[in-house]
Amino acid sequence: MNPLLEHLNEPQLAAVTLPPQHALILAGAGSGKTRVLTTRIAWLISTGQVAPPGILAVTFTNKAAKEMLTRLAAMLPINVKGMWIGTFHGLCNRLLRAHHRDAGLPQLFQILDSGDQQAAVKRLLKTLNVDDEKYPPRELCHFINAQKEQGLRPAAVEAWDDWARKRVELYEAYEAQCQREGVVDFAELLLRCYELLERNEPLRRHYQERFRHVLVDEFQDTNCLQYAWLKLLAGSSNRVGLPPNPLPAEGGDYLGAPKGASMFCVGDDDQSIYAFRGADVGNMRDFEREFHVTNLIRLEQNYRSHGNILDAANAIIKNNPQRLGKNLWTEAGAGEPIRVHESYGEGDEARFIVEEVKALSRDGHARAEIALLYRSNAQSRALEHALFNAGLPYRVYGGLRFFERAEIKHALAYLRLIANANDDTAFSRVVNFPTRGIGARSLENLQDAAKAQGSSLHAAIPRVAGAGGVKLAAFADLIVRLREAAHLPLQELVEHVLDLSGLSEHFRNEKEGQERLANLDELVNAAASFVAEEGTVGTEGEATGELRADLASFLAHASLEAGEHQAGEGDDALQLMTVHSAKGLEFNMVFICGLEEGLFPHENSLLEDKGLEEERRLMYVAVTRARQRLYLCFAQTRMLHGQTRYNLPSRFLDEVPEELVKWLTPRAGKNGFQVADATAFAYNAAPGFAATPRRSESQRGGGFRIGQSVVHAKFGLGVIIHAEGGGSDARVQVNFGAAGIKWLALSVAKLEAA
């Protein structure tokens, strides 16, 4: 057997050795997706079916692209640096650099990251004297990017009222500014590249003829424009309706060997969780229909998790309609039962997790292999607080610790100004946030005045004249009004500050401000919990000057939690993250927290079309992160807006079969409260794959070579993957795609070279 194929299971082998036809590989969680993709490329090159420059492989992250290149370099004696393997944005950038004149770009065009783009929009609004409160820069960036991801230039965007028409005008002005400055944002990279290929037929044909094999990773995460770009490169005449109308691209005979590129798309519709970014899971079904895909291979053997975890994941996801369908299994055995824990409140839930983590550590489990997953970033606050008090190091993956998040630091800055109006750091942070028309020139004048009289910025406000001085005086008046509320109980004071400062209203008007609002709500909860736990003062409370003692203590507490227990790179630290951030990762022990209706599934999902299906896919991703042990945690009560809310357990808990579950807390039964019997669990391992491919005694058979495409009258187009024997005894093993893998005697089978 070819050494490249030795460690593949049967479906992996079938996928890797497919003939040059379009294929859709449904790769379940932990099923060896990267191995299949990389080995497919190595197989095509090593068997002479394509040269390295004829491969185009697209991933979604630079990390995945680098991993593929590293594996390829270990498999083949070739230089992989020049291969076209990378992210959508990386490959589009490479193509635009090579054809910048045709794309209408300067040779040294620059790329704007998200921060640069927002700064560019702010400059535009200032130049055009547009109210940035009515058209917030961040929200305008989201609008522009969303239009580009749909392939829409300003002229094609529909506007139904004056506000919408103004947004389209700003989009057009932003495009003109970027073109004038020779810069492109991330969304523009893909759209400009698509338009270049769409309108330049000779260039399009050149790349269609060059790339004979197009391979796509995480296909379920592609958006409308990404799929259209892939179809152009594949030579497809099928379109998705992107304006303006493209030049007709030559299609292929998709019932046989394609005249264009062979599309090899790998993905998992059950792990499509990025609809909020524009990902369209429907692209998988569209691809299957539009390209007449007959090679649909399911990778269902999981190499990550034990059987009970996979059985739970299968049981949950089967409740989603319109799946392409697959069922994960493993040879690793059933493993431990899934542990379910019910708490009274989120504080109890966090304390349970802390005690369980300590017990796991005593048993020799590394903290770095324990993950705490949650649906919303705001949930991390209670967990972080419990970990802080227990002295357990932790790392927030893919995000900031609660008290380090920008919206929380803004709110704390206002609270600090109540405590001390001369706090220049807090003053500078929020003097113009939310925006109140205080520009850079006014702040420079204020800094000069403060320096001249040796005072704080706040104290120097009366010395600033003009319109800037009036706006600064209004901010000083806001601080006075905030300080007048300093007698309120801490929880009410925080709520008052969020409303009066305009922070709540600001994030309420942002398109993606819901998560920031949830974090601000959690700050109110944190204040209430702090007073309840610390017991520093009563309703009337002690006062330190004009400042309540509990506010001073709370600000000190926030500063300490933000700076303490930071885990270094080499520390053995717990991993905290949202489920979205956890995709692609795996851990020995996983806690899924907050499994309550309205939280997970999120209440917003019930109002959105197919929102619940996406939440269920998110739960499926969460469950399949666990290798050995899985905890499902929920609480009867949880604080929201400083008020206690009573919750129902998540419907996802009901979807886990009872025989897989071990309850760690009493559960209501027919005879009152009882503890589930852990011995009632089924430990039957899933059936394993036992077939062993034959080893070839010869690398040739009957004049054919391994890797050669052949045609059979009954089975159609195939590719030879093994050969043995010689003369009249020669046999070859051929992968016929949808017809499967067949051993054929050359003296009998009438094979022809394709």
Q: Which amino acid, one-letter code, is at 545?
A: G
Using an 8 Å Cβ cutoff, are 705 and 721 in contact?
Answer: no
Pick the closest to residue 55 from 98, 13, 20 (CA basis). 20
Is residue 636 part of the annotated active site? The answer reads no
Using an 8 Å Cβ cutoff, are 266 and 219 in contact?
Answer: yes
Is residue 625 part of the annotated active site? The answer reads yes
Residue 370 in tokens: 């324990």
Among 195, 198, 218, 596, the one annotated catalytic? 218
Q: What is the Cβ-side half-sphere exposure of residue 186, based on CA atoms within 13 angstroms? A: 15
Pick the closest to residue 492 from 457, 533, 452, 541 (CA basis). 541
Asked if omega into 462 is within 30° of 0 (cis), the reply is: no
Displacement of CA 401 from its chain's centroid (Å):
18
SS3 label, residue 640: strand
Among 10, 34, 323, 336, the one annotated catalytic? 34
Is residue 301 part of the annotated active site? The answer reads no
Using an 8 Å Cβ cutoff, are 584 and 565 in contact?
Answer: no
Distances (CA, A) of 108 to 101, 103, 167, 195: 11, 13, 29, 19
DSSP state of 369: G
Q: Which amino acid, one-letter code, is at 465?
A: A
Distances (CA, A) of 72 to 42, 62, 388: 7, 15, 44
Among 149, 188, 195, 217, the one annotated catalytic? 217
Cβ-proximal residues to 653 (8 Å cutoff; 6+ apart), any chain: 340, 595, 632, 634
547, β-bridge pairs = 544
SS3 label, residue 716: strand
Among 625, 627, 629, 651, the one annotated catalytic? 625
Distances (CA, A) of 161 to 146, 164, 166: 19, 5, 9
Among 59, 222, 271, 733, the one annotated catalytic? 271
Among 17, 21, 33, 268, the one annotated catalytic? 33
Using an 8 Å Cβ cutoff, are 233 and 181 in contact?
Answer: no
Is residue 33 part of the annotated active site? The answer reads yes
Sheet strand arrangement including 709-712: 741-745, 731-735, 716-724, 709-712, 752-753
Residue 259 in tokens: 């005249």
Using an 8 Å Cβ cutoff, are 352 and 343 in contact?
Answer: yes
d(CA 24, CA 296): 5
Which residues are designated catalytic?
Answer: 33-34, 217-218, 271, 625
